[in-house]
Amino acid sequence: MAIIKTNWIKKFEKLYREIPMGEDDESDDILSGEDVIDERYIELTPYEAGDKPDPEKEAGETGDSSEQEKDTDEVRDLSNPGEETDESEKPESSEEAEQAEAAGVSARGRVVSRMISYISNESSLGKSLKTGELRKKMTEPAWTVPAPFNMTDFDLENFSMKMLSSKDNPDLDHVILQLHGGGYMGAIRNAYYVFAGLYNEISHGMNVLCPDYRVAPEDPYPAALEDAFESYMWLLKRGYKAENIILAGDSAGGGLCMALCMYLRDNGHPLPMGIIAMSPWTDLTASGPSYEFNFDKDPLYGNTKESLIYINAYPGDHDKTDPYISPLYGSFKDFPPMLIQVGSHEMLLSDSESVAAKAREEGVKVRLHVYEGMFHDFQMAYTAIPESKKAWAEAGKFIEIIMKKENL
């Protein structure tokens, strides 16, 4: 059964869909998610420090090991995260292409990665893309709301928000608070309203609130956190229960979700039902090992330190290790279940792996899925490449599981 009920998403995928599909790639339908996440990963007793699951042993209990690794989860050795993959970010030769294919990277995914690498490293737009200047100056027309949805505007004192809802059979009891990415320097853009539509679809009709929170350099820390907190409290005041709220964010927005959850816990506020973090930026000190071993692989931010992940105005004069700025340095005790997705070629890979390890040690139920050969925010390909389709289906399955088991 397909999660996306209509073809509204296709118009936003035109660029990606002009890339030919390989014969071995998936169809255009996004699957239900049954093949990409198993409830065992949520039901498992939280891992003790240093206790990592054995994927071969788990696969032996549930079926074929190769299918288990391909269709469910890649569990990485967090003690040596750089050893698993040494393939080039540009599998141009037949040998490299065969290696990438053997690792499970789709033909279209490889082409998109190389396209991003060209734009980021060789085109005239590259430098402004890496520094965030392009995003900062970007102007877009008003988003045309697709037929299946309604969009409502809300103006608060310091920022505005949009609420996307289903026209048919809306879920009025649950809501997703989506905190957008952009390195804390870029405002919300139309791609995140497409994200909202996808979140609405995979959650079977949940409303999706999209705050356009304040960003740097005009509004450095703590402005983004303040606006995220105000958005959350706004939902509570409108009658939503905390246990019916899901936080979702990508890149800086993924880190902001975790910082918000820490702030809520530290100040005695009720916590949300779960967190979905796509390529989250959790360490603004850029100190993880993947900032080095993926320096030449990351197609978006690689090959330079003149990028927003190194030079960023958001922290201002504050310590970058403040957990509300870099949640990796905080405690995850009492956090709700988290789904963390990241690409193996990201410089930010360590941000996800280190958070997952630390949260598990503190008793949090975490599903970390490292998508082989993928780039930062690859979910922004929507359903147009197999890896992003799987990621969205996985997010839908995660929502389904935490909805069933809110008292995990």
CB contact set of 315 (below 8 Å; sequence gap of 6+): 220, 221, 284, 322, 325
> Nearest-CA neighbor of 275 among 304, 299, 255?
255
Half-sphere exposure of 137 (CA within 13 A, CB side): 6
What is the CB neighbour count within 10 angstroms for residue 238?
11
Options 346, 353, 387, 400, the catalytic residue: 346
CB contact set of 151 (below 8 Å; sequence gap of 6+): 143, 145, 162, 163, 164, 165, 193
Chain CA centroid to CA 79, Å: 23
Q: What's the start-to-end Cα distance of the chain, in Å? A: 27
Q: In sequence order, what DSSP letters do the residues of 243-273 get, joined into one string?
A: GGEEEEEETHHHHHHHHHHHHHHHTTPPP-S
How far apart CA 84 and CA 308 sit, in angstroms, is 27
CB 55 within 8 A of CB 68: yes
Please report which helix (H) or strand (E) contains residue 227, including its range: helix 223-237
CB contact set of 201 (below 8 Å; sequence gap of 6+): 3, 4, 5, 396
CB 159 within 8 A of CB 211: yes
Active site residue 331: no
CB 256 within 8 A of CB 264: no
Active site residue 290: no
CB 229 within 8 A of CB 237: no
Options 113, 166, 231, 251, the catalytic residue: 251
Residues with a known catalytic role: 251, 346
